[in-house]
Amino acid sequence: MTRVFGIDIRKGNIRSQTVSPHFSLVCVEDGKVVFEEKEVSIPKLFRMLRQDRPDILAVDSVQEIAPSDKDLFSFLSAMPAETKLVQVTGDGIKMESLPSVAARYNLKFDKTNPAEEAKASALVASFGGGYEVLAFEGVTTVTVSRGRSLGRGGWSQNRYVRKVHGGVKTRSREIEAKLAEAGLSYTVEARRAFGGESRTIISVRAPREAVPVSGMKSGDIQVHVIPKRRDKISYVPLTRKTSYVIVGLDPGTTVGLSILDLDGNLLHIASVRAQSPAEVIAEISRIGKPVVVATDKAEMPAGVEKIRRAFAAVSWTPKKDILIKEKYAAAEGYPFADDHQRDSLAAAVLAFRSFQPKFENLKKRLPAGTDVDFVRAGIIRGKTLDQILLPSAVRTEAEPAVPDVLEQPPDEKDLEIARLESEVLKLRKLIRGLSEDLESRDKALRSLQRRLSLERNERTADVLLSEEIASRDKELAQTKKALRKEERRSKNLRIRLDRMKNYVALQAGDGCLAIKVMQLLSRDAVKSVDEEMGVHDGDILYVLKIDGWGKSVLRDLQDAKIKAVIFPKLVYDRAREQHLIQEFRKLNLPALSGAALSPRVKGKIGVVNEAAFLRALSEWEVSEEVFLKEQRQEEFSGMVEEYQVQRRREVNVLGIDPATLPYNQVPPAVPAPPVPKPASVKPAPPKASKAKPVLQKITVPPAPKPQKKPEPKTADVFSAVLSEYRKERRKEMEKTENG
């Protein structure tokens, strides 16, 4: 006798913190309702479970009693050890609705009534349906510890401590004796304390229901019996029921396999290349037990027949080969990936539809609680409903007697002859089919050969044509590339032309000159302005920054023959500090300050007052003349000084007194040399061992007239001094040789 409690939530929610849930409870024994409870709270449910000790507590979903795994562990640990928790709608992954599960057992109920749902859950579980929820392993921990604290109320005295610890030890020994008497294996871990043990942990290698110990708490001692939790909650079928299926097969090099349950739901579909019959049989056995093996051919192929015999299943073949459009119509609504899956699926679906009217009629005649799939499988095999529902050993009195002649077993030879004749007929049919198949394949082969020859000729022509097309496509691609390049260039030129028009329009302004704005004094900035508007002879540039300037950019500006460069006031002051203005002067490139010019800038161009610009430019030219004169004077002074140093070195080598030589007199400074008076150079005092040097008189040219003459060039002055030096040097060498 199996007692089952079925519950379904009536009101409230297990997740709610304010309204506690209440359940409808139905108790079922051997398929009959014993009693019902309309509203049961969680505490009352546990009291009834501990009192009645049912075999199963059935729910349609565990989410109604425990929203999380932690809550489910707590719920299961509070239940009696011998009571199983069964979820009737699935294994937590593949879930079904309660009406579809109840339909397998021919149960009908009102889905809006919680009591009816609780009753359906209990009946399904009593018939062996559903999945048992397993949360604990086969190891149980029994913990014996103190039931009160020893640190308060005078219990810290040694006599009371010894009494409590002694009680823990005594209770532990009693539990060990019960476990040994039950023949269970266990290990003990005790914590020693004054007068006995403060805690004892006993690990028993047995499930909770097999441990003959229950939890308790008395004044001094408490016992907790806790099973070991699994890493993950698992769902195990309550009964190992055979799943009856309908199999559709499409044999060949690539085997198409489709499996339906007896409700027409697709369980498995696949197409595998080069799979042996044994592998196909193993794959089908993993899913269920075939009742029908179907094919899309009017004559069942030998490979399909072999698989059918392995399961002793009923064969199903159509009256004639199924057409392709019929296959698509039959497989509509089911997923398939290729023609092999489509053919096998169509065979399985048509086989199911051929038995579907019998299945529909059968539901009206079955009593509640009957396994519908088992009855369907018997009907497919040709049995009557009475033969399926009644045991084979039970016979009714109204059953007519069978004559003794029929009870005699047939002769073995006759059976063998009949079997061989049927085999011969099948083989003849197979040979005819193979011959027709071979002839049709020969025709198809000849047709394909002709088609292949035509395809090769067409392919040759296409290849010749494709080479010319490829060459033209390549040329076209190059032309398009060049066209895009020219379009980009044309666009840039149009932009540049627009800017140049704006610049020219500014140049035409009354009393103003146009300027081109350059963000930085660098070669890249000059290149950018040149690309956008062009840098031409006579342009005026307005430079905003001079960071990182170099002499190369100044040479580029000089080569472009620009008219002038204008700097903002602060930038001009910084350029003066960095000696940039001096570099401009060396290149005779005007660099003006924008303080007095007040240029107005808009984007890349601007304007400056023409009169102010011309005044600043004239001031620059005057200062440039002064700078060039100073520079030439410094160069000439340097050359004279270098000449004197070199001359002194040569005199020291010859041993001549430098005071007696005429080159000690420094030439007058350029451009306004003083007019010296004529003077003669006195000879040096004579020496006895050496000849006296010949004195030479240097005549100073007459003073120039007061009229202004052009300044001599530095190179001409230097050449004149050098020629005079060479003449004097030549005369001295001749006197030395004669002496």
Taking only the tens place, the pLDDT of each residue in 134-166 is 888 878 888 998 877 765 555 556 777 888 888
Least confident segment among 182-191, 268-277, 414-423, 531-540: 414-423
Cα–Cα nearest to 650, from 549, 543, 574, 725: 725
Cα–Cα separations (whole angstroms), residue 349 to 100, 150, 304, 322, 331: 20, 76, 17, 12, 7
Look at residue 259 in the predicted model and tell me its pLDDT. Answer: 92
Closest CA to 598 of 613, 578, 619: 613
Listed residue (290, 294, 158, 171) closest to 221, CA to CA: 171
SS3 content of the chain, % helix, strand, coil (to 5): 45, 20, 30
Q: pTM for the full model?
A: 0.43
Among the residue ranges 100-104, 175-179, 289-293, 391-395, the one predicted with the least confidence is 391-395
Asked whether the predicted pLDDT for residue 732 surpasses 50, the reply is yes
Looking at the DSSP bridge assignments, the partners of residue 196 are 193
Helix spans in 579-704 (H): 580-586, 610-654
Q: What is the DSSP letter of 149?
A: -
- DSSP letter (8 states) at residue 409: P
565 close to 541: Cβ distance less than 8 angstroms = yes
To the question of domain 138-229 being in CATH 1.20.1530, the answer is no
What value does the mean pLDDT take over residues 659-677? 49
Average pLDDT over residues 79-95: 85
Question: Measured between alpha carbons, how far apart are the two ends of the chain, in Å?
Answer: 159
Cβ neighbors of 101 (< 8 A, separation 6 or more) are 88, 89, 124, 129, 130
Q: Is the pLDDT of residue 515 over 60?
A: yes
Tokens of 642: 């270098």
CA dist 738 to 403, 650, 661, 682, 734, Å? 176, 20, 19, 22, 6
Q: Do domains 3-129 and 244-397 have the same CATH topology?
A: yes
Q: What are the backbone dihedrals phi and psi of residue 669, each rounded to the nearest 5 degrees, phi first?
A: -70, 150
Ranges 123-127, 193-197, 320-324: which has the least confidence: 193-197
Q: Reply yes or no on whether the pLDDT at 687 is more than 80.
A: no
583 touches 558 (CB < 8 A):
no
Give the model's pLDDT for residue 677.
43
SS3 state of residue 130: coil
In the predicted structure, residue 293 carries a pLDDT above the cut 90: yes
Phi, psi of 533 (to 5 degrees): -130, -15
Structural tokens at position 556:
């580029």
Continuous H helices in 302-371: 302-311, 324-330, 339-363
The crossing angle, in degrees rounded to 10, of helices 339-363 and 372-380 is 110
Query: Does the pLDDT value for residue 32 go beyond 70?
Result: yes
The Cα-based distances of 583 to 119, 394, 550, 590 in angstroms read 106, 127, 10, 10
**In the predicted model, is pLDDT for residue 669 greater than 50?**
no
Mean pLDDT of 190-206: 85
How sure is the predictor about 595, in pLDDT bands with cuts at 50, 70 and 90?
confident
With cut-offs at 50, 70 and 90, classify the pLDDT of residue 292. very high
Write down the pLDDT at residue 59.
92
Q: Among all chains, which residue has been given the structure tokens 């014996």? A: 144
pLDDT of residue 294: 92
Grouping H, G, I as helix, E, B as strand and the rest as coil, residue 516 is strand
Distances (CA, A) of 257 to 140, 271, 337, 341, 410: 47, 6, 12, 6, 39
CA torsion through residues 279, 281, 282, 283, sign? positive
State the average pLDDT over residues 167-173. Answer: 87
Measured torsion, CA atoms of residues 7, 13, 19, 22, in degrees rounded to the nearest 10: -10
**Residue with tokens 């021919």, as numbered in its chain:** 106
Cα-to-chain-centroid distance, residue 680: 103
Which residue, among 248, 245, 477, 445, has the nearest Cα to 344 in the 3D structure? Answer: 248
Find the mean pLDDT for residues 346-356. Answer: 90
CA distances to 272, 306, 343, 624, 687 from 309, rounded to whole Å, are 21, 5, 21, 117, 149
Q: What is the model's pLDDT at position 628? A: 81
Type of residue at 266:
L
Whether 187 has a pLDDT exceeding 60, the answer reads yes
Q: Which two tokens stand for residue 44?
A: 């009352």
Place 700 in a pLDDT band, splitting at 50, 70 and 90.
very low
pLDDT tier for residue 416 given thresholds of 50, 70 and 90: low
Q: In the chain, pLDDT over 70 holds for what percent of residues?
A: 80
Looking at the chain, the whole-number percentage of residues with pLDDT higher than 90 is 6
User: Is the CA virtual torsion 93, 97, 102, 105 positive or negative?
Assistant: negative
CATH code of the domain occupying 244-397: 3.30.420.140
Q: How many helices (H) and strands (E) does the chain have?
A: 19, 21
* Among the listed residues 601, 514, 606, the one whose alpha carbon sits nearest the alpha carbon of residue 562: 514
Q: How far apart are CA 178 and CA 213, in angstroms?
A: 8
Mean pLDDT of the chain: 78
- Per-residue confidence (pLDDT) for residue 394, from 0 to 100: 40
Write out the H or E segment, with its range, that includes residue 483.
helix 412-507
pLDDT band for position 395 (cuts 50, 70, 90): very low
User: H-type helices in 655-711, by residue range?
Assistant: none
Return d(Cα 351, Cα 297) in angstroms, integer. 12
φ, ψ dihedrals at 184, nearest 5°? -95, 145
Residue 103 pLDDT level (bands cut at 50, 70, 90): confident
What band does 333 get if pLDDT is binned at 50, 70 and 90?
A: confident
Residue 329 identity (one-letter amino acid) = A
The pLDDT confidence band at residue 403, using thresholds 50, 70 and 90, is very low
Which alpha helices (DSSP H) does 40-194 contain, by range? 42-52, 69-78, 98-103, 114-126, 158-181
Residue 653 confidence (pLDDT): 66
* Helices 523-532/551-559 angle, 10° precision: 30
Q: In 3-state terms, what secondary structure has residue 261?
A: strand
pLDDT of 119 over the 50 cut: yes
Please say if the pLDDT value at position 642 is more than 50. Answer: yes
CB 607 within 8 A of CB 509: yes
Question: In terms of DSSP bridges, do strands 186-193 and 32-41 run parallel, antiparallel, or are they unpaired?
Answer: unpaired
- In angstroms, rounded to a whole number, what is the distance separating the alpha carbons of residues 350 and 353? 5
Q: How far is 575 from 591, CA to CA, in rounded Å?
A: 10
User: Which amino acid is it at 673?
Assistant: P
Which residue did the predictor score with more confidence, 666 or 571? 571
**Domain residue extents for the chain:** 3-129, 138-229, 244-397, 505-632
Over its C-alpha atoms, the chain yields an Rg (Å, rounded) of: 59
* Token code pair at residue 496: 């540049």
Topology of the domain covering 3-129? Nucleotidyltransferase; domain 5 (3.30.420)
Q: Over range 58-87, report the average pLDDT.
A: 86
- Lookup: tokens for 710: 């052009």
Size of the chain in residues: 739
C-beta of residue 211 within 8 angstroms of C-beta of residue 142: yes
| DSSP, res 90 | B
Q: Residue 415 has what pLDDT? A: 58
Please name the residue that has the structure tokens 């109920």: 109
